[in-house]
Chain A
């Protein structure tokens, strides 16, 4: 009997190991699958409809784009708390350009991105040349950018649905709606119902971000700076330049997300984007980024953002109260981070095996 058990042992262990390692590589997606399953089981028909999914992702798109920039910063072991304020300021700038100057959207978007990039550059310079910790520097600029935002707007929200003298929307305002006002899609006709611009923008940003991280020298340098700054420096990486670049990119993406947010709510609120940084950080962390730097990916952040947004959506569909939603969201972050630990499953497997072994003599005794 004991002979049989030892003979069967190795093969069983190998299979077991393979299963554990396979599960381990899929850990990140477990949460997404769970949320999807929950949605399908409880509200299958509504949840899976294209309209619902588009709305859900679209509502989160601006924060998702912030999360991509945030991931870049977090990968270098930094953090950017000012993304929400940068988004707010960019959305205000876009609304003002539209309402006061009546500029065309194709000019507004690059202007906002430039504006965001300048803000991000300020963050980057503060953290490198002035050697202020990223947390402190961006905490300061969070306040500064918000203050500028409110000063510009005089604390009044600025509508983006600007009407011309004839009472109809001006041409530029009409076009601006394509940035994300619900119900206005791109490529209608060509692609059936068309594509909701925020969703498209989010996906494109994710794809480009992931390619930059995985394919380019800059991407490698980002991981190296976060993984071991001293080693990166001694390997000839200009660590300051990399850090400034990620902060600038983060600001640029916030500037990109600004007009989307303004169009989505049809106005730029002086408080728009408040606490978005928390969602952005949460998405990155749920997606497997480590605040210690050097670990994470844009794909992960994309999944993290989907988990957050779909969870919101599912809970909303099931009429769960807002308060409870907040609690659940917080718990999800904790669970996701624990799930991401590489040794978690192995540890659990070891534990299970130990328990099984302790119970084994009695059981095998009975079975034989």
Chain B
């Protein structure tokens, strides 16, 4: 096997990306959220039916149109989210789709267990293959996933943030397995945000930005600052910076002190997050995936219930407990959730239904919803936000992403919030609508709304926010004013995992000595 060359000109989320991975090397992919790393890997693993460009494997062009084909060619992928069936046994999961069969066509349970046990041995796991996956720890599941990828004749292994759920010792073990693989001549494509990890395991690194290829460097001797520079280097030109800045003596509208959130499946724990948002101020929350940005908003909004959250929160100086979203709305908070379709909209219902859902109490009259008042208010909001819809009786699911997002905004604004929590308000929204959403944010801030906003797009944060708070692993690692904030500084703080962990360890040791 010589090597693999790949180019993909003209894919929407990805254009003209090239990647050369040699056998036996670990090739890291680096880039901001949404830079196209996962898209690229999905193309390689055959998850997308069609793509532009060519993929060559060992010098021969190959077509990757289904995961099955990719697997047959020896390309295995480990996704960011685990793809195991929790209630099936470890052996069943590892050999899913490739079950050995007896001559009678029954699944050969004995041979299956043996093969599974052998594969588990390869990844250094000592588990009973008959154990259900549900009972395994996350780290073990990650390694089971790896064993599953090994079950074929593996030539290329793609790993999408395999260490995001692992503790340090488990990362060591994973690295050991990766090294034994590369020693066998397997090429590994490795995605991670953790620079210090890449320095340890990767041989080469390729940086992507906005779906395009930026450059490739040998990892040995690569300067982290240079890599970060390559990741961000985006002109700020297309965004207008916020014209007015808020006086720093404006009254504080939302203050959180020592905000902590207990960990649970699928969410990052927060510890001791301090935040203030003043009247008329837009504060940005930056951080990488899994840094706890969404969790901060949800904790304040009461989406996790009061028991999981601790710390002191005040709204307009009065103590506030995040009991439930209902309670939050009553206290003047409103949230635009991260996932528009799953968390914000009843897609099958009308624009009017969705827009007025959170504010129905306002339109109550003789125990009924006063439809005329409701219609008037919704029409007004739809016009003010310039939602392009055939009418307020149109089904929300038929609108474009940008207009759907504006309906969500309308829903929030109809509750007349004083604090607006925005989670990725411009995700999946076209450029025109983005600009309009920025304008709306400006206008709201001018009217005195305090806005706390999460975004993965740093230029957006830089242009829009008066202050940016950077999170990493559920902690605040930096708080940057508008004049001192740069993409480099934000990313450095967002990747400051080492300092966060040592600080945690120090804190823990301190706690123990006390």
Binding site for B on A (CB under 8 A): 215-217, 219-221, 223-224, 227-228, 230-238, 294-295
Question: Given the complex, which residues of B lie within 8 Å of A221, measured CB to CB?
Answer: 360
Instruction: Report chain B residues within 8 Å CB of A237.
Output: 326, 357
Query: Does B296 sit within 8 A of A, measured CB to CB?
Result: no
* Cβ-defined partner of A294 (8 Å) among B326, B328, B348: B348
Cβ B328 vs Cβ A231 within 8 A: no
Q: Is the CB of A233 within 8 A of B364?
A: no
Given known A-B contacts A234-B337, A236-B326, A295-B348, A216 and B358 have beta carbons under 8 A apart:
no
Contact A220-B357, Cβ < 8 Å, known A228-B347, A235-B411: yes
In the complex, what's the smallest C-beta–C-beta distance from B154 to chain A, in angstroms? 39
* B345: chain A residues within 8 A (beta carbon): 228, 231
| 7 tightest Cβ-Cβ pairs between the two chains A and B | A227-B346, A235-B358, A236-B329, A236-B326, A217-B360, A215-B368, A228-B346
Residue with the highest number of chain B CB atoms closer than 10 Å, among A215, A221, A228, A236: A236
Assess whether A238 is in contact with B326, with CB atoms less than 8 Å apart: yes
Docked Cα-Cα span, A220 to B343, in Å, equals: 17
Contact between chains at A217 and B301 (CB < 8 Å)? no
Given A220-B353, A237-B357, A238-B326: A232 in contact with B346 (beta carbons within 8 A): yes
B321 to chain A, nearest CB (A): 16
| Binary contact readout B307-326 vs A (1 if CB under 8 angstroms, 0 otherwise) | 00000000000000000111
Distance in angstroms between the alpha carbons of A30 and B411 in the assembled complex = 37
Which residues of the partner chain A approach B330 to less than 8 Å between Cβ atoms? 236
B369→A216 contact, CB < 8 A = yes
User: Knowing that A224-B357, A236-B328, A295-B348 are A-B contacts, what are 15 other residue pairs whose CB atoms are under 8 Å apart, sorted by A's residue number?
Assistant: A216-B368, A217-B360, A217-B361, A220-B360, A228-B342, A230-B343, A231-B357, A234-B301, A234-B325, A234-B335, A234-B337, A235-B329, A235-B357, A236-B324, A236-B330
With a cutoff of 8 Å between Cβ atoms, the chain B residues found around residue A294 in the complex are 346, 348-349
| Cα-based distance from A223 to B344 in the complex (angstroms) | 14
Chain B hits for A231, CB < 8 A: 337, 342-346, 357
Assess whether B367 is interfacial by the CB under 8 Å rule.
yes
Chain A residues with Cβ below 8 Å from B367 are 216
A236 to B303 Cα, complex, angstroms: 10
Chain A residues with CB under 8 Å of B415's CB are: 236
B364 touches A217 (CB 8 A): yes
Asked whether, in the complex, the Cβ of A236 is within 8 Å of the Cβ of B353, the reply is no
Interface residues on B, range: 20 to 34
A227 vs B367: C-alpha distance when bound (angstroms): 23
Tell me which of B303, B349, B368 contacts A234 (CB under 8 A): B303
Instruction: Report 18 cross-chain contacts, Cβ distance below 8 Å, ordered by A residue.
Output: A215-B368, A216-B367, A217-B360, A217-B364, A220-B357, A220-B369, A227-B349, A228-B346, A228-B347, A231-B342, A231-B345, A231-B346, A234-B343, A235-B325, A235-B358, A236-B325, A236-B415, A237-B357
Instruction: List, in ascending order, chain B residues with CB within 8 A of A236's CB.
Output: 324-326, 328-330, 358, 415
Alpha-carbon separation in the docked complex, A187 to B411 (Å)? 49
* A223 x B349 contact (CB < 8 A): yes
Q: Please determine whether A227 and B335 come into contact, CB atoms closer than 8 angstroms.
A: no
With A216-B368, A217-B360, A235-B411 already in contact, the answer to whether A227 and B348 are too (CB < 8 A) is yes
CA distance A328 to B325 in the complex (A): 48
Q: How many Å lie between the Cα of A231 and that of B338 in the bound state?
A: 11
List residues of chain A with CB within 8 A of the CB of B303.
Answer: 233-234
* Residues of chain B with a CB closer than 8 A to A224's CB: 346, 349, 353, 357
**What's the minimum C-beta distance from A252 to chain B, rounded to whole angstroms?**
18
Contact with A along B237-279 (1 / 0, CB 8 A): 0000000000000000000000000000000000000000000
Q: Is the CB of B342 within 8 A of A232?
A: no
Q: Is the pair B325, A215 in contact by a Cβ cutoff of 8 Å?
A: no
Interface 0/1 of B342-382, CB less than 8 Å to A: 11111111000100111011001001110100000000000
Q: How far is the CB of A244 from chain B (nearest CB, A)?
A: 15
**A238:B324 contact, CB within 8 angstroms:** yes
B347 cross-chain contacts in A, Cβ below 8 A: 227-228
Closest to A215 in B: B368
* Residue ID in chain A nearest B415 by CB atoms: A236
A176 to B239, CA, bound (A): 76
CA distance A101 to B364 in the complex (A): 44
In the bound assembly, the distance between CA atoms of A75 and B356 in angstroms comes to 19
Q: How far is the CA of A224 from the CA of B358 in the complex (A)?
A: 10
Bound complex: CA A219 to CA B349 (Å): 13
Q: Which of A219, A223, A231 has the most CB of B within 10 A?
A: A231
Q: Which residue of B lies closest to A241 (CB)?
A: B326
Nearest residue (CB) in A for B327 is A236
Bound CA–CA A217/B361 (angstroms): 7
CB within 8 Å for A223 and B353 given contacts A217-B361, A236-B328? yes
Chain B nearest CB: distance from A303 CB in Å? 20
Q: A223, B326: Cβ atoms under 8 Å?
A: no
| Chain B contacts for A234, CB-based, 8 A | 301, 303, 325, 335, 337, 343-344
Q: Which of B301, B346, B368, B411 has its CB near the most chain A CB atoms (within 10 A)? A: B346
Give B343's nearest chain A residue, CB to CB: A230
